[in-house]
Amino acid sequence: MKIGVVTFPGTLDDRDAKRAVRIAGGEAVSLWHADTNLHSVDAVVLPGGFSFGDYLRCGAIAAQAPVMQSIIDAANGGLPVLGICNGFQVLVEAHLLPGGLIRNEHQHFICRDQKLIVENVDTAWTNGFELGQEITIPLKNGEGGYIADQETLKRLEGEGLIAFRYSEVNPNGSINNIAGLRNERGNVVGLMPHPEHAVEPGFGPDTAAAMRSGVDGLTFFTSVLKQVVNS
Amino acid sequence: MPKIIVEVMPKADLLDPAGKAVANALQRKGNAEISNVRIGKRIELHYAHTPTEADLAAAKQIAADFLSNGVIEDVVNVTVEN
């Protein structure tokens, strides 16, 4: 199973994402922003960072990159795509997910282990979770405030397109505590927090059991591998 | 240099943190008469020739599709400047 991880100029978390893929049991394939060839991957991760320096708007220039034209076409055909943080912003700017992300309400960059509630498990990237499960993965961003107009919000809530909500604390002012979304088909998921930073004991968030032992992020990657095998 | 100027502003009902920070600083400096500040973008598109009607129409499309995000911003002006 090959999972492609895209590198744009300014991407930071591509290596962590590739590592997460390998730990989950997949083969990680590097995809380059200027190359339209997706190298026959079975799924794609758009990792976090500051693509193109966050110029214009976060994710806006990356959404126009040659590789994104291939990814948009493939996603519309059902290819699983996960956008993490800046990758979520790219998905929104590429119109694969609705709404927008603005600067955190309190204007501070935030970096914390964040509790989330899994709101939807009918997706390529969340099928290994239990509905309503509480998970903890790192969150680190400056522009993570999710917004959408009332009509879009009503559709997101009504059609079950919210994949994750912030639990206990809303860290950035996102409406309805939205941390992540899915598309109608369930192959595209985007979220601000970082599952790829919680995949290996010793390097994840603290848990009740032990310091840095949290591996809740691994389920994103095992979910997609399971889905690809079954399809 | 002939140009088309595109002006983009954050939507009126959205928090503009940069504008708010500047407004707070102005208040501290004693400019009590300034009640609010909002900060947008001015983008210049340069042309080798005087922009035509078609160039202006294309620029308006670019402004709507790429230079702004309709969810969070409004294009308030697209004008030719020779």
> What does the pLDDT look like over A40-88, one tens digit per residue?
999 999 999 999 999 999 999 999 999 999 999 999 999 999 999 999 9
A18 CB neighbour count, 10 Å cutoff: 22
Half-sphere exposure of A47 (CA within 13 A, CB side): 29
Give the structural domain span for A39.
2-230
Instruction: Classify the complex by whether its ipTM is higher than 0.95, answering yes or no.
Output: no
pLDDT band at A217 (very low <50, low <70, confident <90, very high): very high
Quick: pLDDT tens for A152-164: 999 999 999 999 9
| Nearest residue to A124 (alpha-carbon basis) of A216, A189, A31 | A189
| Of the partner residues B17, B18, B69, the one whose CB lies closest to the CB of residue A60 | B69
Choice among A93, A119, A143, A196 that is catalytic: A196
What is the rounded distance in angstroms from the CA atom of residue A60 to the CA atom of residue A5?
18
What is the rounded distance in angstroms from the CA atom of residue A183 to the CA atom of residue A97?
6
Nearest CA in chain B to A142: B17
Do B71 and A148 lie within an 8 Å CB cutoff? yes
**Which residues on A lie below 8 Å from B72 (Cβ)?**
57, 100, 102, 147
What is the rounded distance in angstroms from the CA atom of residue A186 to the CA atom of residue A180?
12
Instruction: Name the CA radius of gyration of chain B, rounded.
Output: 16
Q: Which residues contact B24 (CB under 8 A, 6 or more apart)?
A: none
Domain count, chain A: 1
A94 three-state secondary structure: coil
Do A102 and B21 lie within an 8 Å CB cutoff? no
Q: Report the CATH superfamily, name and number, of domain B3-81.
A: Phosphoribosylformylglycinamidine synthase subunit PurS (3.30.1280.10)
Domain with residue A87: its CATH number is: 3.40.50.880
Do B66 and A100 lie within an 8 Å CB cutoff? no
